[in-house]
Amino acid sequence: MGGRGSGQRPRAEEAAQRLALLLRGPVTLVGSRELLDAALGLSLDLSHPVYACVYLALAIRDGMPLLTADRRLWNAVARRKRVASHIRLLGEIPLP
């Protein structure tokens, strides 16, 4: 229940582990205004809300993968070859 690939929300303990894993990484604040043009283009291309595409635009700009629990966004991006390498589904990343 709630485990990897089950399609259900993760249990509280697993969610806490994943959050701790994310928080160990470097964090940099970035203004969204500079990403809005790219995010709007992605939003229109993917038929996904622009606010979520801001994160994807940042990942593409910085050459890093976006880690997301948003399966709908992941599915939309994974079908587009030019951006597919810029997204990873959080539930698919193994815990240490």
Q: Give yes or no for residue 4 having a pLDDT over 60.
A: no
The partner residues of 89 in beta bridges, in order of sequence, read 68
Q: Is residue 63 part of a domain?
A: yes
Q: Is residue 6 part of a domain?
A: no
Q: How far is CA 73 from CA 29, 52, 77, 81, 90, in A?
A: 22, 8, 6, 14, 12
Q: Is residue 12 part of a domain?
A: no
Q: pTM of the entire structure?
A: 0.70
* Residue indicated by tokens 């599915």: 75
Quote the number of domains for the chain. 1
pLDDT confidence of 7, banded at 50, 70, 90? low
Q: Is residue 80 part of a domain?
A: yes
Measured CA to CA, the distance from residue 25 to residue 32 in angstroms comes to 20
| 10 vs 66 pLDDT, higher one | 66
- Boundaries of domain holding 52: 27-92
Q: Is residue 22 part of a domain?
A: no
Q: Is residue 13 part of a domain?
A: no
Q: Is residue 67 part of a domain?
A: yes
pLDDT digits (tens, 9 = 90+) for 24-82: 888 777 899 999 999 999 999 999 999 999 999 999 999 999 999 999 999 999 999 88
